[in-house]
Structures are given as C-alpha cells and as structure tokens.
Structure 1
Amino acid sequence: MMIARRSSGKRSVGGRAWRRGFTLFEFAIAVSVIAVLAAVLLSRLVAYQQEAERIAVQQTVGALRAGLRMKTLELYLADRQNQLPALAGQNPMQWLAETPLNYLGEYAAAEIENLPQSHWFFDRSNAELIYILKRGNTFGASRSELLQFKVSLQQAPASAAGPPASMAVPEVVLVRIGGTGGLK
C-alpha cells in the first residue's frame, strides 16, 4: 500500500530547503519601483491638467474675441460705428451664445480668495473679465493667479493705402492686462 505525503511547500535543492516568495530585500525593491512610477505618473497628470486648463482658457478667449468681432461687424453693418466706443468696458461674456460652465457671473466687489479656482467672473468695478487660474502642487496648498482681460478701444494703425490718420476708425479689442502667462 502506498502512502501519499503532503508537500510542505519547501523544496530541497542540494540538501537545503527553500521557500517560494519574496525576501524582504526583494519586497523593498518592488515597493521602491512602484513608488517611483507612481511619482512620475502624478507629476505627468498635474502637467496634463495644467495644459488642459491653459487650452480651455485659450479657447474661451478665442470665442470671446470672435464674439467681439461679430458684435463689431454687426454695428458696422447697421452703420452704427459711432457706438463702437460703448463696447469698451462691457462684459464680453454677454456676446457669447452660451457662457462657459465655469463662469460665475458679474461681481461689484468680488472677494477673490472666496471664489473657486479655474473659474471666470466679470469685475464691474474695473470692467475686467478675470479668470482665476489654478496654480499649485498636488500635495500642498495651492495658490491662484489672476488672468485679467479688458475690452478696450484702440486706434487702428494708419496704413499708406488706407484713409488718413484723422479718418481712421478705432477698433475694439479684448486685451490681456499684465503678462501673458503662456496665453496670447
């Protein structure tokens, strides 16, 4: 009669028993590799989030400038160029078919530190459209930077082929106040 023996999980190699599994050193190396990969992934995710926010702001600014052009052309077609100066200082969000989901509205005296980051609002006291840009690291307190835009009236540059400077028509533009911050 044959008796079956149970395997104890140990194998004998050259007279020595060994176990299957990780040693403490191998486990530490595996954890280190996973930690480094996680850190690289997090840094890339933060960079991708910042790039996505920058692109979203650029698209909104582009839509605002297109809305401003449409409003200007509308006045030209109606032969009401004399109303162009009235556009300066207005809220350009009014000219969009739909305001962005992250538009908070108009404020007379906004307490910026209480407003959420990555949102737009119009400051009526300065006639500025402001975006609260999220700038911060992943693990610490984040700080915000303001991107400020204003609708202003500028004199169109005189050209040799165009009318004399006294007859030049002013143009209404959306300009960024301060540095560019990666935006144009």
Structure 2
Amino acid sequence: MTAPVTSVRVRGFVLLQSTIALMVAAVLITVMLVRTRQYNDEAELQSVKLTVNILRGALGLRLVEARGQGAAAINRVAEENPFDWLSRKPENYLGEYYSPELKEMPPGNWLFDRRDRSLVYLLKSHRSFASEASNFLKFKVEFAQARLPGVKIGPAEVPNGLVIEQIGDGAATN
C-alpha cells in the first residue's frame, strides 16, 4: 500500500517551512553579529576618549599643584608619565617601556613610551578610528603652541600651557 498523496505534500510543506525559518534565523544572526561588532568598536572609541579626558583633567590638577613650586616644576610635568597622576591606573595599562615592540604587545591596552615620553594606545579595531592603517594612537603632554601664524610660544613664555594632544597614529611600521 502506498502513502497517501496528502502526507507527502505535508512533509514537503514542513521541509519548505523549516528551510525558510533557517534562512531567516541565519540573516538575523548575521545582522546581530555585525551590530555587536559595531557596538564593540564604538565602545573602544569611547573608552579611549574617556581615558584621554581623565588624563587631561589630571593634568589640570597636576598643573595647579606644580604652579606653587615654580616654573621648573611645571616644565617637569611635561616629562612625567600621565598615568602616574591617577590614584588608580586603568586595568588595560601595561606600564612604562623604553622603545617597546608594539607588534608584540596585546591590543586594547595603554602604555607609556619612555623614549619619547608618549602615551600609546594599541588598537583592537581599526574601524572606529580615523586611519584604517593605524595599529596604535599616540598622545603626548606638550606645551601649547600659539594659533597665530609665525608666532610660537615655548615653555619659557607659557609655562601653564601644557596640553595632552594626539601626536599622530601609528601606521603599520611599528
């Protein structure tokens, strides 16, 4: 005895429904993964901005303290590791290095390069930041420069003019 025609049609319809449901689930999972990656990239960008802003606030407090000690103390502030100004260093701070091999350092972390007195952030993701070729971002405590053409203000003229500025990002060279 052969199976009724209606049960074959029902099985075919169930198979079609299952296939469509799997395709919809695959599309939804793909969209979710793309969104999750975007949120992670944005979280990294905001984390870097927050850390830099915290360090800028700490610089302001450090300058208030140094002003009472004179111009030499203010000049020394530019040579200090900004993470030392914080009561608690971030969990993703690796420490101080002298000319570190950045390729060998774990991404998503900060370090202080003693050679050029710069803060370095090693990128996890390149999509959130301006330069797609970047492996890291560099920041440095510097004396502010005048914005007038041809006029530069150095440490002697503006002892309170220290800022933390991004000095560039690292191309794939380091």
Higher share of residues assigned strand: 1
8 Å contact kept, 1:89–1:150: no
Partner of 1:101, secondary structure, is coil
Partner of 1:126, secondary structure, is coil
Pairing partner for 2:33 from 37, 42, 64: 42
TM-score normalised according to structure 2 size: 0.76
1:69-80 paired onto structure 2 within 5 Å: 69-76=60-67, 78-80=68-70
Greater CA drift, 149-158 or 96-105: 149-158
8 Å contact kept, 1:155–1:170: no
8 Å contact kept, 2:75–2:159: no
For residues 99 and 49 of structure 1, what CA distance do their matches in structure 2 show? 22
Q: What is the CA distance between 1:168 and its match in structure 2?
A: 4.9
1:124-163 paired onto structure 2 within 5 Å: 124-135=114-125, 145-155=135-145
Q: Point out where structure 1 has 5 or more consecutive residues left out of the alignment.
A: 1-9, 138-142, 159-165, 180-184
Q: What is the CA distance between 1:178 and its match in structure 2?
A: 1.9
Aligned residues: 153
Distance 1:148 1:136, change over 3 A: closer
TM-score normalised according to structure 1 size: 0.72
Q: What is the CA distance between 1:51 and its match in structure 2?
A: 0.8
Q: What is the CA distance between 1:79 and its match in structure 2?
A: 4.4
For residues 17 and 56 of structure 1, what CA distance do their matches in structure 2 show? 61
For residues 79 and 92 of structure 1, what CA distance do their matches in structure 2 show? 18
The corresponding residue for 2:46 is 55
Computed over aligned residues only, the root mean square deviation of the Cα atoms, in angstroms, reads 2.7
Q: Point out where structure 2 has 5 or more consecutive residues left out of the alignment.
A: 128-132, 149-155, 170-174
Distance 1:84 1:155, change over 3 A: farther
Distance 1:170 1:155, change over 3 A: farther
Q: What is the CA distance between 1:32 and its match in structure 2?
A: 1.1
Q: Percent identity between the aligned chains?
A: 35
Partner of 1:23, secondary structure, is helix
1:23 matched to 2:14? The reply is yes
Greater CA radius of gyration, 1 or 2? 1
8 Å contact kept, 1:135–1:144: no
The corresponding residue for 1:111 is 101
Higher share of residues assigned helix: 2
Q: What is the CA distance between 1:26 and its match in structure 2?
A: 2.4
Q: State the 4+ residue runs in structure 1 displaced beyond 6 angstroms.
A: none
Distance 1:167 1:47, change over 3 A: closer
8 Å contact kept, 1:156–1:170: no
